[in-house]
Amino acid sequence: MTTSGGVTILQMVNNKIDGNGKLLVVISHLLAILSQIGNKPVALISINGKQRSGKSFLANQFIKYLKFRDEGDTAWLDKNLKSDFEWRDDLERVTSGIQVWHEPLYAKFNGKEIGVIVMDTQGLHDKNTSSQGNSIIFGISVLLSSVFIYNEKHLADDSLQYLQTYLEYAKFATGGKNDGSPTPERLTFQKLIFLMRDFQTGGCKHGYYDDNTCPPDQTKNLKQSIFELSPDMHTEAKDTRSGIENCFEDRGVYAMSSPGLKLPNMAEFKQSKDWEPQFRSSVVDFVTKFFSPEALFASTKRVFGQVVTAEQLKAYVSKWVQLIQETEGTVGSKTIFDTTAEMFYNNKIEESLEEYKTKMKDNLDRHPTGIIPRGSSLLELYRNKLRGRLNGVKEEFYKLNEASIAAEKERQLREKEKIEAKRREEQLKVEARRREEQLKIEAKRREDELERQKAEAKQKTIQNAENYHRQALNDLHVAEGKLQSVIANKKNYRYQVVREEEDRLFGFIPWDTDTYVDWLYDDAQFQQALKAAQAEKQRLQQRANETEQQLNIARNS
Ligand SMILES: Nc1nc2c(ncn2[C@@H]2O[C@H](COP(=O)(O)OP(=O)(O)OP(=O)(O)O)[C@@H](O)[C@H]2O)c(=O)[nH]1
Ligand SMILES: [Mg+2]
């Protein structure tokens, strides 16, 4: 078990920057390391990205390489550090805030030496840190570093979007035109390594890809596949890609193999010989490629395109962190850019004055009387040189200032446009929701009306069917009455007819009616009347059945 080898230079308190100067207190660790490196240039490498993705593990490999690379080949890989950046297999985040390796490390090349500082950072998108907190960690580490490693586990377009969103925030450091050129007019970020862990996708080998480099025998360029713009690409995806490309002078993608199930924190896989061979060679390749003295010398920290010493960087670092802290991360592009430009050109003026003083002293030493001979062009020469230089510096500063004002204006305009577009989008959404509600209400009203009309029509149909049925039953009842009366009046049936006939013929009824009727009774006539009455009853019975059926249909429909 090792104690932590990283010292905290930024600690979030309640996942926010502490307003009581905590940041300044802890930045002193970084300043102390820079002081130790002194007048040498310095390479600052930071590793950022998604939480729990093996950042601290890899940062420890950097340290081992920097400390033990001279022990030959890959011996450094199995060296034990007395203390390391804390790392482990855990569900909760391990690293918090920003940590730097507690001591300065060095790299020598062609007889020169530079300092190397490694920074390990809190993982982005953890569940406790606000987006402002994430942006501050990201902003400070991208601003401080000369090599910015963005660690990702699974590539999806949102990985690029996250990176670009944070860069939008961190772009406060850039000014003037934003075309990615490493001109001194810009405070561009230097090198981006988009590091893809557990890389498995088809057609591309493990290794490093940039615009001009691919792993040996590799034809498809992964960096170009990810970053190249294509005509059918969505505008948002295009903006994301060009946004990232424009922020850095140098960009590349590294595809690293996966350790599989042999996680290097497990006791049985502590020795690198037990790791997955592909993972081991990926780690070795990555570390030696970017941490070789030659690579580090090419990646020393620059401000406005000029290499600065660790000592000079101290003033910039203090100022940047102070600005970010004071504004709780809402610092505008103009502020950081202008402040840096002002410090940069003040340094230049001081350097010129220093040079002037040294040369004049040198001159006076060579003229011990202390009098520069009249007509000597030397004094004039230095005066003019200095004046020319100061004017140049002034002009450059004004130019930069104008450019930064224009850039800030444009940023504000873009910000306004974004807000306006968002407001319009919200308004459209509200209107669409209202229209949808109205349509729903109207459809419901129509549906109810239709239901009501249907119910009314049904009621009417039932009523009609009831009336018809009632009428049919009535008629049937009458027919039944008629039939009964035909049967009951069997004898009398003819009687009435005869009486009526007699009455018509004679004006009176001459016969004893009963006798006469018996005599007159005609069974055939009766049978005919009976049949007719029965047929009528049957017809009406059938009609009543029909109307009953219709009534049932109407009721059940
Ligand atoms: N899948 C995978 N796991 C790895 C890799 N490298 C290391 N690990 C494992 O990932 C786990 C977390 O490692 P850390 O180095 O603590 O991860 P981190 O990104 O620093 O985590 P935070 O500091 O919490 O954001 C450990 O179990 C490591 O063994 C890798 O390349 N791929
Ligand atoms: Mg960590």
In this prediction, residue 21 carries a pLDDT of 37
Q: Please, which pLDDT band fits residue 308 given cuts at 50, 70 and 90?
A: very high
Q: Which two tokens stand for residue 5?
A: 């080898």
User: What separation in angstroms does the CA of 115 have from each of 112, 249, 309?
Assistant: 11, 21, 9
57 touches ligand 1 (CB under 6 Å): yes
Q: Is 203 helix (H, G, I), strand (E, B) or coil?
A: coil
- Asked if residue 179 belongs to a domain, the reply is yes
- Asked if residue 18 belongs to a domain, the reply is yes
Q: Do 223 and 80 have their domain in common?
A: yes
In this prediction, residue 377 carries a pLDDT of 61
Q: Please, which pLDDT band fits residue 163 given cuts at 50, 70 and 90?
A: confident
The residue that leads in pLDDT, 15 or 549, is 549
Across the chain, which distance is largest between two alpha carbons, in Å? Answer: 191
Instruction: Determine the length of the chain.
Output: 557
In this prediction, residue 1 carries a pLDDT of 35
The residue segments making up the domain with residue 50 are: 3-331
Task: Give CA–CA dist 340/264, Å, rounded.
Answer: 42
**HSE-CB of 69 using CA atoms within 13 angstroms:** 16
Residue 487 DSSP class = H
Residues with CB under 5 A from ligand 2 (ion): 55-56, 94-95
In this prediction, residue 280 carries a pLDDT of 96
The ligand that comes nearest to the alpha carbon of residue 126 is 1
Q: Which of 85-89, 313-317, 406-410, 430-434 is predicted least confidently?
A: 406-410
In this prediction, residue 527 carries a pLDDT of 83
88 touches ligand 1 (CB under 6 Å): yes
Residue 406 above 80 pLDDT?
Answer: no
In this prediction, residue 24 carries a pLDDT of 40
The ligand that comes nearest to the alpha carbon of residue 206 is 1
Domain end residue (candidates: 291, 316, 331): 331
User: Which residue, judged by its Cα, is nearest atom 8 of ligand 1?
Assistant: 54
Burial of 277 (0-12, 13-18, 19+ CB in 10 A): exposed
Residue 18 above 80 pLDDT?
Answer: no
Q: Which residues contact 295 (CB under 8 A, 6 or more apart)?
A: 289
Domain end residue (candidates: 299, 331, 363): 331
Instruction: List residues bridging with 100 in a β-sheet.
Output: 7, 119
In this prediction, residue 180 carries a pLDDT of 44
Residue reference for tokens 């049985």: 268
For helices 310-326 and 131-144, angle between their N-to-C axes, nearest 10 degrees: 160
Residue 272 DSSP class = G
263 touches ligand 1 (CB under 6 Å): yes
Sign, CA torsion 170/171/174/180: positive
In this prediction, residue 131 carries a pLDDT of 67
In this prediction, residue 139 carries a pLDDT of 79
Number of domains in the chain: 2
Q: Do 324 and 457 have their domain in common?
A: no
Residue ranges of E strands in 103-162: 105-109, 112-121, 147-152
Instruction: List residues bridging with 251 in a β-sheet.
Output: 192
The ligand that comes nearest to the alpha carbon of residue 124 is 1
Residue 334 above 60 pLDDT?
Answer: no
In this prediction, residue 8 carries a pLDDT of 75
In this prediction, residue 181 carries a pLDDT of 44
Mean pLDDT of 420-445: 93
Q: Which of 68-82, 222-236, 390-404 is predicted least confidently?
A: 390-404
In this prediction, residue 515 carries a pLDDT of 54
430 Cα–ligand 2 center, Å: 43
Residue reference for tokens 């009098």: 371
Q: pLDDT (tens digit, 9 = 90+) per residue, 96-105?
A: 788 999 999 9
- Asked if residue 181 belongs to a domain, the reply is yes
Instruction: List residues bridging with 149 in a β-sheet.
Output: 47, 193
In this prediction, residue 290 carries a pLDDT of 97
Phi then psi dihedrals of residue 503, to 5 deg: -55, -40
Q: Please, which pLDDT band fits residue 498 given cuts at 50, 70 and 90?
A: low
Q: pLDDT (tens digit, 9 = 90+) per residue, 239-258?
A: 777 777 777 889 999 999 99
In this prediction, residue 115 carries a pLDDT of 98
89 touches ligand 1 (CB under 6 Å): yes
Domain of 315, CATH number, reads: 3.40.50.300
265 Cα–ligand 1 center, Å: 9
Domain end residue (candidates: 331, 353, 385): 331
Q: Please, which pLDDT band fits residue 383 given cuts at 50, 70 and 90?
A: low
Mean pLDDT of 107-120: 96
In this prediction, residue 300 carries a pLDDT of 96
Q: Which of 19-28, 32-41, 57-66, 127-136 is predicted least confidently?
A: 19-28
> pLDDT above 70 covers what percent of the chain?
77
The residue that leads in pLDDT, 487 or 451, is 451
Nearest to 304 by CA among 220, 182, 423, 481: 182
Residue ranges of E strands in 179-233: 189-196, 207-210
Mean pLDDT of 323-341: 66
Write down the mean pLDDT value for the chain: 81
In this prediction, residue 497 carries a pLDDT of 62
Q: Please, which pLDDT band fits residue 177 given cuts at 50, 70 and 90?
A: very low
In this prediction, residue 530 carries a pLDDT of 86
* CA 296 centroid distance within chain: 34
In this prediction, residue 381 carries a pLDDT of 66
In this prediction, residue 469 carries a pLDDT of 93
- Asked if residue 347 belongs to a domain, the reply is no
Structural element, H or E, at residue 265: none
Residue 153 Rama label (left phi>0; alpha psi -120 to 50; beta): alpha
In this prediction, residue 175 carries a pLDDT of 45
Residue 309 DSSP class = B
Q: Do 258 and 114 have their domain in common?
A: yes
Q: pLDDT (tens digit, 9 = 90+) per residue, 298-307?
A: 999 998 778 9
Q: Which two tokens stand for residue 67?
A: 């400390």
- Asked if residue 342 belongs to a domain, the reply is no
The residue that leads in pLDDT, 90 or 215, is 215
User: Which residue, judged by its Cα, is nearest atom 27 of ligand 1?
Assistant: 89
